[in-house]
Amino acid sequence: VQLQASGGGLAQAGGSLRLSCAASELTFSTYGMGWFRQAPGKEREFVAAISWGGASTYYADSVKGRFTISRDNAKTTVYLQMNSLKPEDTAVYYCAAGGALSTVVSGTVAYWGQGTLVTVSS
């Protein structure tokens, strides 16, 4: 199983970035998917999750209203649209594949992708 994250980079505060995570060797449509992040010197934290069919989503309070998670099962890809970026959003972002939405939110996932670095300048 591979989860290949991309789309990270440098953005200014108030700007936007869109992360993608392409899955392979995975029955993608049967997995809940999530995004997590780890800032320098901090523990990894939950950002957003989406159910296998895309009907249900859940967000951390810190990103609610600014970030949107979505998925395209035909392309076996999950996205994270990040708007109104803040310097505190700076982190390495990881995608993950798991089961039910609640388990993904808790960080109990089956697979982790490699991270993509997001840096937000003030």
Kindly provide the residue ranges of all beta strands, DSSP E only, lying in the chain, ordered along the sequence: 2-6, 9-12, 17-24, 32-38, 45-50, 57-59, 67-72, 77-82, 91-98, 109-112, 116-121
pLDDT digits (tens, 9 = 90+) for 92-103: 999 999 999 999
| Per-residue pLDDT, 6 | 97
What's the CA gap between 121 and 117, in Å, rounded? 13
Residue 34 CA to residue 101 CA, distance in Å, equals: 9
Residue-level pLDDT at 121 = 97
Using the structure block, give the residue that is written with the tokens 């388990």. 103
The span from the CA of 34 to the CA of 96, in Å, is 5
105 secondary structure, DSSP code: H
pLDDT of residue 41: 95
How would residue 50 be classed by pLDDT, with cut points 50, 70 and 90?
A: very high
Name the pLDDT band for 69 (thresholds 50, 70, 90): very high
Q: pLDDT tens, 5-21? A: 999 999 999 999 999 99
Residue whose token pair is 């937000």: 120
* pLDDT, tens digit (0-9, with 9 covering 90-100), for 58-68: 999 999 999 99
Q: Give mean pLDDT, residues 17-35.
A: 96
How confident is the model at residue 82, as a pLDDT?
98
44 Cα distance to chain centroid: 12
Sheet with 77-82, strands from edge to edge, namely 2-6, 17-24, 77-82, 67-72
Asked if residue 118 lies in contact with residue 47, where contact means CB atoms within 8 angstroms, the answer is no
Tell me the percentage of the chain whose pLDDT exceeds 90: 100
